[in-house]
Amino acid sequence: MKSARKVTEVWSSESDHAYMLQRILRADAWNRRTLRVFAEWLSSVRSLKAGTIAVRIDSASTFVDSVASRAGCSCARAFRAITIEEIEDFFIAYGKDHGKAALRSMQAAMRLFLRFAGTRG
């Protein structure tokens, strides 16, 4: 029974990792490197598991792509100049098309991404 559990956990982790990589590849080209580094940060610094990282990357990609697209530049440059009002505007607009669970997930991803961005300057 113990070995069957390990196989399931490994498969799930590999599946989550593959999903996360696919989501990063769907992000705007100029944001992919930042999202990969963010995923590594979530794993190494925050000690999150692959499934949680996949969910956070999915939400963070939407946030990052929106902010960078609005600013017309890479996310690194866009987040240096982002305002609280822009963050709030994104979240309100996102909330109009998504349910409470998606909003909670986005809020967690945004909070983590902003912490990450703060550590990177």
Please tell me whether the overall predicted TM-score, pTM, comes out greater than 0.85 for this model. no
In order along the chain (121 residues), what is the average pLDDT of each group of 10 residues?
40 75 88 93 92 92 93 86 94 95 95 94 78
Q: What dihedral angle (degrees, nearest 10) is formed by the CA atoms of 82, 72, 105, 19?
A: -140
Residue spans of alpha helices (H) in the chain: 2-26, 32-44, 50-71, 75-80, 84-96, 100-120
Residue 72 is given by DSSP the state T
User: How many whole angstroms separate alpha carbon 27 and alpha carbon 107?
Assistant: 19
Q: For the chain, how many residues are written?
A: 121
In the structure encoding, which two tokens stand for residue 82, read together?
């982002």
pLDDT tens column, 5-36: 443 343 357 788 888 888 888 988 889 999 99
| CB of 36 closer than 8 Å to CB of 44 | no
